[in-house]
Structure 1
Amino acid sequence: MNRELQQFKADFFKALGHPLRIRILELLAEGDKNVNELQAIIGSDGSAVSQQLAILRSKNIVFGTKDGNKVTYSLRDPMIKELLAVAREIFNNHLIDTISMFDRLTEQ
C-alpha cells in the first residue's frame, strides 16, 4: 500500500512538472475554461495547450465536459487550488530566503 501511494504521488507530481501544465491548472482554479479560452489567455497555440490537457486528463487531474463541439475543462479535485497556493507560499519563502542571503552578502 505504501509503495502504491508513493508511486501515485510520484506520477502526480510528474504530471505537474511542466510550466504550461501549471499555468493551465492556475487558470482552471479560477474557473472552468475551454481550449480556445485557455490558449487565448496563455498566448500559446492550441496544439500545445491540447497536448498538456491530454496529460492532465490522463492523470485524472482535470476532466472535460463536451458541449456541442466544445470541451470545457475543470479541475477534478478542488484541492488542486490549495496545492497551487501552498506551492506559491513555498516559492515566496524560498525567494525571501534568497533575497535575505543576497542582502547579507552585499552588506559585507
Structure 2
Amino acid sequence: MKANNIIIVPETHWDREWYLPFQEFRARLVIMMDKLLNILRNNPDYKNFTLDGQTIPLEDYLEVRPEKEEEIEKYVKQGRLSIGPMYILPDEFLEWLLHDLYRCLAKH
C-alpha cells in the first residue's frame, strides 16, 4: 500500500460575532491567542500559524492585551504568524464584493 503525505495547516477561522455576542467571542479569542503565543514562544520549531486572512482579530486581542504587540510583531516578521491581507473577511454573499473585484480587474 502506498503511503500518503498529510499536510496540516495550523489556522483559525474567526467570526467576530456569530451565534454569541462580540464580547463573548473576544474572550475566546484572548484565550486562543494567549495559548498560541505561548506555543510560539516555547516551541521555536513551530513553523507557522495562519490567522484566518484577516487582521481585525489582532486589533480585538490587543485592546485587551496591548503588552503583547511587540511579541506578535516579532512572530509576524519571522513568518511564524501569518496575518492579512484583509482587515475583515468579506461576506461572499454581498454584492459589493463582486462589484469591487470586477472594478479592480477592470483597472488592470
**TM-score of the superposed pair, with normalisation by structure 1:** 0.30
Relative to its length, the structure with more strand (as a share) is 1
State the structure with bigger RCO (CA 8 A, min sep 6), 1 or 2. 2
Relative to its length, the structure with more helix (as a share) is 1
